Chains A and B, each alone.
Chain A
C-alpha cells in the first residue's frame, strides 16, 4: 500500500478557506490529503495547535492565511509571521523536518494557488514518509481552546 500523507490544514476564514472553496467550485483537481480546520484568522493559530496535530499523528501541518497587508483584522497575520518564524526553529529543535510544516498565503481568489500549495506539501511529505515521532513521544491530551 502506498503511503498517503495525513496533513492538517489550519485556514483563515476570510482568505484561505474561501480560496480553498473556490478551488472546489472551480473543479480544480488536487491532492485530497489535507484535512481542513477553519479558524477566523491565521493570527488565532497558537503553535500549541500545530504541536497537537503532530502529537496526534499528523504527517504534516499547513497554516494558511491572507497575504500580508490583506488581513481582515488588519494585523492578525503579522502576528502569524512572527510566531511561525520562531516556531519553525522550535520544530527544528524537536528534530521535525522543516518540509512537514508550511505557512502560506492564499487569498480568496487564489483557488489555483491553494491547489498548488496543497500539492506541494503533499509531495514533500510523501517523500519524507510517515511522521517519525514515535507514539511513546506523543502526549495525548483532551483539548479545550485555551
Chain B
C-alpha cells in the first residue's frame, strides 16, 4: 500500500493539539512509517506555496486544529479542503470553536481596545493598532484580517470527521490513526476517538444522591479524591459532556471542563450542563438559591467553555 499523505495544520489554536500528536511518543515513528507528512507547520518547513502547487485531492488526511478566526485561517481551511480527501476537525477548537471561541463574547474592536490600549503591560503612545495593509518604503506589508466572530471548522468547509478534546488524548489519536491507516472509518460526519457515553457514565468516582448546598472552588477547597466532584459542590461538566478521555480531569481531582463537547443527543452543551447541575441544588427558596448560585462567578463561560461558537446562539449580542 502506498504511504498516506498526511497534513497537520493549526489555525486559531494554541499548539497543544500538535503536542498531543507528539505525545504518542515512539508511536510517532509508526505514524511516520505509515504516512508522508506534507504539511506540519510546528515541526516541518513546508510552505503554503507547496500546498497550493498540489493537485486537488492530493493529501489523504488533514488533521485540522484550531478555530477559524482570521482570513489566513479561512484561506488555509478552504485550500486544505480542496487538496484533501479526508478532513478531520481535530481538537475542541476545530470541532466546536474551543477556548478561542470565548472571544465571541466580544468583537474585534473591543479586543483590540483591550489588548493594544488597556492592558497594564502595554505601552502604545501612538495608539497603533494592527492594520491589514501597511505601506513602508520597501513596499506594502499585509497581515491576515481578524474577524469579529470565531467559527468552528464546519462553518467554513465540509468536515468528514470530528476528533474532540482539548487536546485529544494520545491514545485516542493513535486509535484514529490506526483506523485511517487500515481504512476502517465510520460514516462521514461521525465523531471519532470518543465514546457514545457521558463523562459521568465513565467516571470511577463514587456517586450518591446529588444535593448541592454550596459551590466550592478548587482554589479554596480540597476535593475528596474518591467522591463525585459535583456532590462535593465542585463544578463538573460531566453530565452533559461526551466521554472518551479516560476521565483525565477527574483523575487529576478536577471537574470536567467539557472539552469533549456535547454528549450524544445534547443540542446545546452549556444549556444542558446548566440544566442538570442547577436541578440538584438543595434549596427551594429563591433567596437561598440565589445565595448558592452566586458562588458561580461566570455562568456562560463556566457551563459553555468550549462550545459557544457551535451553540444555539453563537455569540454575544453587542
Contact = CB atoms under 8 A, between A and B. Distances in A.
Nearest to A88: B299
7 contacts: A48-B268, A48-B275, A50-B271, A81-B284, A87-B278, A90-B304, A96-B317
Given A48-B271, A87-B278, A138-B314, 7 more contacts: A51-B312, A78-B284, A79-B278, A85-B289, A90-B299, A137-B149, A146-B266
Contact of A137 (B284, B299, B315): B315
Contacts of A136: 149, 314
Interface residues of A, number: 35
A93 B300 contact: yes
A90 B312 contact: no
A89 interface: yes
Contact of B278 (A82, A94, A96): A82
Nearest to A145: B265
Interface string B302-318: 01100000111111111
Interface of A: 43, 46-48, 50-52, 54-55, 68, 78-79, 81-83, 85-87, 89-90, 92-96, 132-134, 136-139, 141, 143, 146
B276 to A, nearest CB: 9
Given A83-B278, A87-B274, A90-B303, A48 B267 contact: yes
Interface string B264-284: 011110111011001101011
A87 to B, nearest CB: 6
B279 A79 contact: yes
Contacts of A89: 293, 296, 299-300
Interface string B78-107: 000000000000000000000000000100
Contact of A86 (B265, B274, B283): B274
A43 B284 CA distance: 13
Contacts of B50: none
B274 A54 contact: no
B267 A138 contact: no
Nearest to B309: A139
A139 B313 contact: yes
Contacts of B279: 43, 79, 82-83
A54 B312 contact: yes
A141 B316 contact: no
A123 to B, nearest CB: 21
A139 B278 contact: no
Contact of B289 (A54, A81, A90, A95): A81
Given A47-B274, A93-B300, A96-B317, A85 B267 contact: no
